[in-house]
């Protein structure tokens, strides 16, 4: 059902990269996950795979260089319509209402807080992946 690189994780924090990687691994989908450690790398990956863009982007907000909002803006204003339509799930530790509002204003599809506990984290990642890659119909 998933192809390699279908899910792009944009995350600089080791622990969350590792959690997410393990979450995918635990479901036998390790290949599906592409990892960008900052915004520039994410945009480069998207550009590299113009023929087959990611089907889901998991986006951290606090990034070195381009912020998560910058990446979100770049994706939504991307030249490729397919890229522009990619579901973006903001995954962050921030609880600031202003961040929530801003993310939705920039057309994020979801705003989720990262759970502290590993089991909850696995569960959340699993649910998000299943929802956006298996349940939701997209154009």
Partner 1 sequence: MRRPSSLAIAVFLGLAAVTAIAAVFLARQVDRREDQLLDERARAVVQAIDRRIETYTEKLFGVRGAFSASNELTHAEYEAFLGTQGVSRRYPGVLALGYADLVPDARRAAFIRGVDRDAQAAGLGYPEFVIRPNAQRPGSVAITYVHPLGPNRAAYGLDLMSEAARRTALGLARDQARPVATAPLRLVTETTDQEGLLVMLPRYEGADQSPAVGERLRRFRGAAFVAIRLPDLIRSAVPTGPGLDLEIYDVGAVGTVPSRLRAGDEAFDLRGGAQAPGSSGDRSRILDTEIAGRQWRIYYRADENLVGGGERATPWLIAILGIVVAMLATAAISFARSAQRRAVLIADQMTSDLQASQTELARSNEELERFAFLASHDLQQPLRTVNGFLQLLELRHGDELKGRAKEYVEYALRGTRQMSTLIDDLLTYSRAGRSERAPEPVSLDRAWDAAVEQLQAALEESGATVTRGDLPTVCADAGQMTQLFANLVGNGVKYRGDAPPEVRADARRVPDGWEIAVSDNGIGIDSSDHDRIFGMFRRLHGDDRFEGTGLGLALVKRIVENTGGRIGVESQVGEGSTFLITLPDDIAQPGPAREGEAVSAR
Q: Which of 6, 16, 42, 69 binds partner 1 (CB under 8 A)?
A: 16
In the complex with partner 1, the residue whose CB is nearer, 41 or 60, is: 60
| 30 counts as binding partner 1 under rule CB under 8 A | no
User: In this structure, are residues 91 and 127 in contact, taking their beta carbons and an 8 Å threshold?
Assistant: no
The Cα–Cα gap between 113 and 35 comes to: 19
Q: Which of 51, 81, 98, 137 binds partner 1 (CB under 8 A)?
A: 98
The Cα–Cα gap between 70 and 126 comes to: 26
Least CB distance from residue 94 to partner 1, whole Å? 7
C-alpha angle 131-54-120 in degrees, rounded to nearest 5: 40
| 48 counts as binding partner 1 under rule CB under 8 A | no
The Cα–Cα gap between 127 and 102 comes to: 24
Q: Which of 28, 81, 95, 135 binds partner 1 (CB under 8 A)?
A: 95
Write out the residues near partner 1 by the rule CB under 8 A: 13-16, 18-19, 22, 62, 93-98, 114, 116-118
């Amino acid at each position: 059902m998933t192809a390699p690189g279908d899910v792009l994780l944009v995350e600089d924090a080791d622990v969350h990269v590792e959690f997410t990687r393990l979450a995918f691994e635990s479901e036998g989908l390790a290949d599906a996950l592409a990892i960008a450690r900052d915004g520039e790398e994410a945009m480069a990956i998207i550009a590299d795979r113009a023929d087959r863009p990611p089907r889901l982007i998991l986006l951290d907000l606090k990034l070195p260089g381009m912020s998560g909002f910058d990446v979100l803006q770049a994706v939504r204003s991307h030249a490729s319509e397919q890229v522009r339509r990619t579901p973006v799930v903001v995954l962050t530790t921030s609880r600031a209402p202003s961040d929530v509002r801003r993310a939705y204003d920039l057309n994020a599809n979801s705003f989720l807080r990262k759970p502290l506990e590993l089991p909850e984290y696995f569960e959340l990642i699993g649910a998000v992946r299943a929802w956006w890659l298996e349940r939701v119909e997209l154009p």
